[in-house]
Amino acid sequence: MANVTDIFGSMVFDDRVMKANLSASVYKSLKKTIDEGARLDISVANAVAEAMKDWAVSKGATHYTHWFQPLTGITAEKHDGFISPAPDGRVIMEFSGKELIKGEPDASSFPSGGLRATFEARGYTAWDPTSYAFIKGKTLCIPTAFCSYGGEALDKKTPLLRSMEALNKQAMRILKLFGNEDVKCVKTSVGPEQEYFLVDKALYDQRPDLIYTGRTLFGCLPPKGQELDDHYFGVIKPRVAAYMAELNEELWKLGILAKTEHNEVAPAQHELAPIYTTTNIATDHNQLTMEIMQKVAAKHGLVCLLHEKPFAGVNGSGKHNNWSISTDTGVNLLAPGETPYENAQFLLFLVAVIKAVDDYQDLLRLAVATAGNDHRLGANEAPPAVVSMFLGDELQAVLDAIETDTPYGGTEKTTMKLGVHVLPRFQRDNTDRNRTSPFAFTGNKFEFRMLGSSNSIACANIMLNSAVAESLRQFADELEKADDFNAALHDVIRRTIREHKRIIFNGNGYDDSWIKEATEVRGLMNLRTTPDAMPHLLDKKNVDMLTAHKVYSEAELKSRTEIMLENYVKTVNIEAKTMVEMSRKMIMPAIDEYIADLSEAAYKKMGIGIPYTYEKKIIEKLSKLLEDIDAATDDLEGAIEEYKKIEDVTKASFFIRDEILPRMDALRAPADAAEAITAEKYWKYPTYGKLLFGVR
């Protein structure tokens, strides 16, 4: 492996490269655009484009692309060559500021949720200078936003940038009240932990369900699963270690801060975690990480599965979104300081997050809602679908003391009226982690654990940024008018704790009694599935908040509701059709063939007077299961035909949830039972045992 410090960022047009290749005046102007959002002059853009092209060509690049994140959930790119014809019949390499700033991909085939008619093809990509350009293969990739001809956002980056600006605006109002005159901006940072499975490609290629859907639709558990807990943090197998080593190298070249790697709980499951970076860049990096993970896996004869639940009966994969807020001066606003002033500021930002999560628990839930994640949330491996917050014992005790104006039980047993003055220095790891909590405070950040492994982190962070911005706006509106700031501050903190403490739960989120308490006593929402969650995006309070902060327009919100529900119904429909095909073409023929051979063996035994009890028993069991499979396949096929008649996407999503998915379960049960007693040589696709333990 090459020296890490030498290769890190070697394929990124980062600050070091810009300093070395741009004039001082151009560099200064570009940095003002990046850091402060100043308008980019076309002459500066031309100079940047020329330097970017020269650098890329020197690295072997022949093409450039505006790299963007449409509402498909993956990235998109259209490659254009740097070549332009020269008068002598040769070519020259050119790249202009205009080409850098704006692209024009065809927008007609990307999801728009009704924002664009199919025949309205024009769309635009716009350079995001806050995220560095990079080289992938032989192509210079320029991170961009993607919008329609009418200016509506057709991507995930644009609303994310808007949400970051909304939070910055409101946080700056609060910081000014505390006298922070040196702070110029506030940004959120994210470190997304990425879980994934690795399976052998030769086995993957024999599974139509994995190929079409990313998850196994059939399969009974092997004798050994994850019950011994011997895979978690276990010794990494040589083949996996070689994959991880190359993955790290490729990510480091792209400036991605890949830091931690280990085996996860389930067999064949692993995790990669990066160091924190600005949310916008972290989102770009995570999309790149998922892409590179799959590409590197192919080079090692492996397939990287990013589905939330690729195997029934073992843990699925999530993506923990570690989120924090910091100033440009380096102050983490979720880290308690050493002075009363810093403690007060910390507490106000803390209760702003508590209020945001309570007020907009539905937005956080729907931001992670997908067909895949519905299989994972609520299982004993991931948080429940009910959103709650974990603070830990010490911080909880501080809030209790403030709420009740009673002595805090720390070293200074002082009544906490203007109680922020006696908050002790808060240690980063002063309390245990709660892996069952959807939204847990972990020292100087919050860990949002509900994201699925294939999710773009943009969606969750858009909602989180926006909700916190709204809390801060309400606080600023009140505090800016106060005659006595300290008294008003204490009142805001105490009142917010009282009004929103229902969202705080420090116990076991897997306990059934918690779900009952959460919904029946505390009045929290239990949005168990995507069809339950997505329509809440259009609730008046959510539309009002998101449009007021200019994160989305109402039309954009309607489009996203439709797109996400369409994605849900189409995903499950593909799974259902795949099950029917596998049942008819693979499972039933395999069972039938085995029954025939058993029958022949039984007939031969009968002819020579040998008992054939075993054959008879298996034939009877398989014959009954075969009938059940055939009937369940017909039933599922009929439901698929009914689904096709439903035009309204909301009605279709409920039909999928209530009719299609139960029939899929009804088909799987007898098929998996038949697999368990069918001789291995007859079964048409690799078993769970081979898939989960096949990589050595």
Residue 197, C-beta contacts closer than 8 angstroms, at least 6 positions apart: 266, 268, 269, 270, 304, 305, 310, 311, 317
Residue 270 has pLDDT above 90, yes or no: yes
CATH of the domain at 332: 3.30.590.10
Place of tokens 């029917």: 580
> What is Dmax (Cα atoms) for the chain?
104
Query: What letters, b where the CB count within 10 A reaches 16 and e where it falls short, cover 520-549?
Result: eebebbbbbbbbbbbbbbeeeebbebbeeb
pLDDT-derived band at 413 (thresholds 50, 70, 90) equals very low
What pLDDT shows up at residue 380?
60
Q: Could you tell me if 330 and 352 lie in one domain?
A: yes
User: Which of the pair, 476 or 397, is modelled with greater confidence?
Assistant: 476
Phi and psi, residue 26, nearest 5°: -65, -45
What pLDDT shows up at residue 112?
64
CATH of the domain at 646: 1.20.120.1560
Q: Could you tell me if 526 and 606 lie in one domain?
A: no
Q: Could you tell me if 540 and 589 lie in one domain?
A: no
Q: In terms of residue numbers, what domain contains 58?
A: 4-155
Total-model pTM: 0.92
Q: Each residue of 104-156: pLDDT tens digit? A: 766 566 766 665 555 455 578 889 998 999 999 999 999 999 888 677 888 99
Query: Can you tell me the distance from the alpha carbon of 156 to that of 283, in angstroms, rounded to the nearest whole number?
Result: 10
pLDDT-derived band at 619 (thresholds 50, 70, 90) equals very high
Q: Each residue of 174-187: pLDDT tens digit? A: 999 999 999 999 99
Q: Rounded mean pLDDT of 51-71?
A: 94
Q: Is residue 75 part of a domain?
A: yes
Q: Are 250 and 292 in contact (CB under 8 A)?
A: yes
Highest mean pLDDT among 111-125, 226-240, 369-383, 551-565: 551-565
Q: Is residue 558 part of a domain?
A: no
**Boundary (domain end) residue, out of 155, 171, 203:** 155
Q: Rounded mean pLDDT of 79-105?
A: 80
Exposure on the CB side of residue 324, measured as CA atoms within 13 A: 21
Q: Each residue of 622-667: pLDDT tens digit? A: 999 999 999 999 999 999 999 999 999 999 999 999 999 999 999 9
Q: Could you tell me if 332 and 400 lie in one domain?
A: yes
Q: Each residue of 519-546: pLDDT tens digit? A: 999 999 999 999 999 999 999 999 999 9
Q: Could you tell me if 146 and 167 lie in one domain?
A: no
**Boundary (domain end) residue, out of 499, 519, 552:** 552
pLDDT-derived band at 283 (thresholds 50, 70, 90) equals very high
CATH of the domain at 64: 3.10.20.70
Q: Is residue 557 part of a domain?
A: no
The distance from CA 503 to its chain's CA centroid, rounded to whole angstroms, is 22
Q: Could you tell me if 139 and 179 lie in one domain?
A: no
DSSP-assigned letters across all residues of 351-409: HHHHHHHHHTHHHHHHTT--HHHHTTTTSTTS--SB--EE--HHHHHHHHHHHHT-B-S
Q: Could you tell me if 94 and 119 lie in one domain?
A: yes
pLDDT-derived band at 421 (thresholds 50, 70, 90) equals low
Q: Are 593 and 587 in contact (CB under 8 A)?
A: no
Count of domains for the chain: 3
Q: Could you tell me if 655 and 542 lie in one domain?
A: no
Q: Could you tell me if 184 and 40 lie in one domain?
A: no
pLDDT-derived band at 225 (thresholds 50, 70, 90) equals confident
Query: Can you tell me the distance from the alpha carbon of 162 to that of 151, in angstroms, rounded to the nearest whole number?
Result: 14
**Boundary (domain end) residue, out of 107, 138, 155:** 155
Q: Is residue 559 part of a domain?
A: no
Q: Could you tell me if 324 and 437 lie in one domain?
A: yes
What percent of the chain clears pLDDT 70, i.e. is strictly above it? Answer: 91
What pLDDT shows up at residue 265?
92
Residue 690 zone, left/alpha/beta (φ > 0; ψ -120 to 50; rest): alpha
Q: Could you tell me if 501 and 593 lie in one domain?
A: no
User: Which of the pair, 146 or 581, is modelled with greater confidence?
Assistant: 581
Residue 428 has pLDDT above 60, yes or no: no
Neighbouring C-beta atoms of residue 618, cutoff 10 Å: 17
Q: Are 284 and 191 in contact (CB under 8 A)?
A: no
